[in-house]
Each structure stands twice: as structure tokens, then as C-alpha cells.
Chains A and B, each alone.
Chain A
Amino acid sequence: MGEGFFSRGFRGRRRNQDTALPPGQYLEDGFPVLSAGPTPRTPLEEWDFSVVGEVDEPKRWTWEEFRALPSEEITTDIHCVTKWSKLNTRWEGVSVDTLLEGVDTSAEYITAYCDGDYTTNLPLEEVTGGKAWVAYAYEGEPLEPEHGGPARLFVPHLYFWKSAKWVRGLQLIAHDIPGFWEGLGYHNFGDPWREQRYWGD
């Protein structure tokens, strides 16, 4: 639809064309917030992170144990399905590779589960090999609750809803199960470069 159509009188705000953005995205300097419900506030002394499901032995870290794990600094672009992209954002977090170290599993998918009953699903190979982190700091500061603090999943190569806020653990599973937004019309995989926003994209 729309082949050959143009919007009468629309010119658009041309930006620096060297900036490569995924299709349909625009550049944002602020950091918009999106979530489906009230911001959960789990005290750090009650917070833990787990790896469960198809594993020989579930793993669990308290906040202190989690923060003692080796961490990495990541500077990269993020892309929200609501159309904004933000460039060169700086995060600190623990690589999912670190969290899965020594885990023996036949699982091919994960469900990330979160405070506030939010979930998101990902193929295991999209969160391993240096592609995903559990992030606890943004631009050198502890991650604000409204942005997912104390910790959120960080999978910057996919639309940002996959970077689940308030994440509390990963469940390793054999079969893919659509998460919260994925069950409500959003794309199951969510690659911004292929503009996989909604079902069927």
C-alpha cells in the first residue's frame, strides 16, 4: 500500500544523513519511558537474580553477589519500537555469558522474567556470544527505577522492549513461548534493521 503515494506538503526534518538509523526510526536525545504498569520498587536486600529451567542446577545471586561478578562497559545505540533511537548510550552490566558460565543446557530459548509480571522471550543464541547483558548502570549512574533499575536485561541489537526492565531471572526452555508484548501483537523476534515491529512484519 502507498506505492507512489506522498504526503502533500510534507518535507520532513532532515537530519545528518551520515547517521544510520534503522528504517522508520528517528533520533531522540532524551530517554523516553515506556512500561505497562506502575514502576516496581524491589529493595536491593530482597532482590536476587536466578537462572532456572532446563539446567542441571539452578543458579541464584543476591544483589551483592551479582555486583561482585565481572562486569563490562558497553557503548551502543538503542532502538525503541515506538520509533525513537538513541545513539552512543553507555551502560554497565554483567554479560549473560558470565551468568550462564558452567550451565549445561539443551534449551534453545529463554524467557526473561521480571518484577511486575513482565516477560520477554529470546532465542538463547541471541543473548550469548557477547550480545546481551544484565545492566545495572546507565551513563555512569545506577539505573533509575523508571528505566528498569536496579537491573534490566540489555539486548541492544533488538527493539528495546526485549531489554526487559526490572529483570529477575532467565528461564531456559526448549520451546519458544511468546512473552508479554510478543503475545499482544508485537513481533516475536524484533530486529529493528528488518523493521520487525508487529506480528507479520
Chain B
Amino acid sequence: MVAVGPRKLLWRLAEVVDVVPETPRTKSLVLDAPGWEGHRAGQHVDVRLTAEDGYQAQRSYSIASAPEEERLVLTVDRLDDGEVSPYLTDVLTVGDRLELRGPIGGYFVWDAADGGPLVLVAGGSGVVPLMAMIRHRAAVGSDVPTRLLYSSRSYEEIIYREELEDFAARDGSLEAIHTLTRSAPKGWDGYDRRIDARMLSEVAWTPEERPLAFVCGPTPLVEEVGTALVGLGHDPGRVKTERFGATGG
């Protein structure tokens, strides 16, 4: 339980200091957020947009940066019919300000002290809060054995691909395993199907190794993975999930 009393999460203005294209549909917003009091890897923020006439829209976005980083980074997936995400990916530029509050969510979080082994399972932009965990792990020099199983539609749509390759190349205790569900480049020898129980039995450690699992992605993926992990004998209490529903972000 909480030791401190309720503290209001205040709206604050952050400034966009960089915009980094990650994939054709995804950009990272690097923010300078004065007064930001820190976060834990896996948490999210609420973003609020205000039109000139006062009309407002709010959405939640996962934090991509490690708590140890100076800048707050959000990675936003552009939803074609969305109200907020196309503004964030197409309109917002360096020097613009963005209103946000957080951090929010105290369950889908990982700290290096929580140990592992870790199995991180992502679908699409569900990788964002898991990347915060991977970056946190690297920032504190943790060697908790970690496997990321990451489902993308195509090679081009893998978010953070190069950074993940770099991490894995430097750190033998981190593996990034990809599956491509729609199209794969010539010569691709990785998985090329949706994540299923067989894939998890090959990747997600054994129940005896008692991995801590974090699963984030669209609802069908999270349902499939959660059910499969429990079916394989993993402790449901060690499987944490976060879903991107059909929300019109």
C-alpha cells in the first residue's frame, strides 16, 4: 500500500527537443519536461491537446525512455483514423510544446531489482514500455537474463531495430527475437507467424525458471500470449499485461 498521501498529477508543459522517425508510421518525441519527477520503466503519461477554441483531447502514451535518461521520450504510432496520434507524428515539431501529466500506472513496471529472468513479449508499438525496461536494464548495468519476443508486420515496421541489435551485440544476456507476420525480407530465417504457444515454449524460458513476463500489444496478441503462457505452466501472477485496444488514439 501507499505510504504517502494522494498527490495530484499536475498537467505540465514539455518542449519537443527532437523528433526521431523510427519506422514509416512511428516517431519518437524527445521532450524536455521541466519539473518531471521521474518514472519507472513501463509507465505511461496522459497527453492533452487543446485547440484554439478550447476543445481538448486526451490520450495515453507509454514512456520509451529509461528513468535514468535526462529526456522523456514517447514513441507514438500513427493511427490513420486517430485524433491525437496523427497530430503528434505529423504536425508537432521541434520547439513546439506538449501538455502532459504522469507518470501513470504502478503495476506494469519493472525495476532491475525485481530480477528475472525476463521475457518481454511485444506486438507492434506494444514494444514501447518494454523498451523502457530494456533501456533501464542497460542504464544500470543489469545482467538479468532477458528475452524480447517481438511481433511486427514487416521488417521495416520493427521499432528500435538497430538499437536492439546494438544492445544484443554488446550484451550476451539480452536476446531480441523477432517474428514477422505479413512480409519478410528475402533470406529471413526468423519466425514468420503470429506468436503462439509453440513459439513461447521455445523462447519464454521454462516454468521452472520462473520468468517474469511482460506482455504488451493489441488485445488478440495479449489474450493469446497470456493464455499460452498459463497453459505452458507459467505462474499467472508473474505474467503482467498491458493492451492497446481498438482505441482511436
A1 contacts B241, C-beta separation under 8 Å: no
Q: Tell me, yes or no, whether B2 is within 8 Å of chain A by CB.
A: yes
Q: How many residue pairs bridge A and B at CB < 8 Å?
A: 138
Complex: how many Å from CA A24 to CA B48? 9
Is there an interface contact between A200 and B8, defined as CB atoms closer than 8 Å?
Answer: yes
Known contacts A2-B48, A183-B1; is A34 also within 8 Å of B245 by CB?
yes
Task: Please report the C-alpha to C-alpha distance between residue A83 and residue B96 in the assembled complex, in whole angstroms.
Answer: 24
- Stretch among A9-17, A59-67, A135-143 lining the B interface: A9-17
Residues of A within 8 A of B (CB): 1-2, 5-14, 24, 26, 28, 30-41, 82-84, 116-117, 146, 178, 180-181, 183-185, 188, 197-201
CA distance A33 to B98 in the complex (A): 28
Decide if A82 touches B247 in the complex (CB within 8 Å). yes
Cα-based distance from A34 to B241 in the complex (angstroms): 9
Contacts of A199 in B (CB 8 A): 6-9
Establish whether residues A7 and B219, one from each chain, have CB atoms under 8 Å apart when the complex forms.
no
How far apart sit A98 and B99, CA to CA, in the bound complex (Å)? 46
Of B11, B106, B229, which contacts A185 at CB under 8 A?
A: B106
Contact A38 B230 (CB under 8 A): yes
B243 x A35 contact (CB < 8 A): yes
Closest Cβ of chain B to A150, distance in Å, is: 16
Q: State whether B49 touches A38 (Cβ < 8 A).
A: no
The answer to whether residues A38 and B246 also contact, given A1-B10, A10-B51, A201-B9 and a CB cut-off of 8 A, is no
Say yes or no: B11 contacts A2, CB within 8 Å.
yes
Q: Which residues of B contact A117 (CB under 8 A)?
A: 237
> Contact: A36 with B13, CB < 8 Å?
no
Q: Are A39 and B223 in contact (CB under 8 A)?
A: yes
Contact for A39 among B56, B59, B227, CB less than 8 A: B227
- B91 interface contact, C-beta 8 A: yes
B57 at the interface (CB under 8 A from A): yes
Chain A CB within 8 A of B226 CB:
yes
**Pairwise interchain contact A9-B230, C-beta atoms closer than 8 A:** no
Q: How far is the CA of A5 from the CA of B156 in the complex (A)?
A: 37
- Is there contact, CB below 8 Å, between A84 and B8? no
B71 within 8 A of A: no
Q: Could you tell me if A38 and B97 are in contact, using CB atoms closer than 8 angstroms?
A: no
| B83 at interface by CB-CB < 8 Å | yes
Whole-angstrom distance between the Cβ of B128 and the nearest chain A Cβ? 15
Q: Are B243 and A5 in contact (CB under 8 A)?
A: no
Q: A30-B246, A200-B8 are in contact. List 8 more A-B contacts (CB 8 A).
A: A11-B51, A24-B58, A31-B246, A37-B237, A146-B219, A178-B2, A183-B106, A184-B105
Residue among A9, A28, A36, A201 making CB contact with B247, cutoff 8 Å: A28
Identity of the chain A residue whose Cβ is nearest the Cβ of B234 in the assembled complex: A38
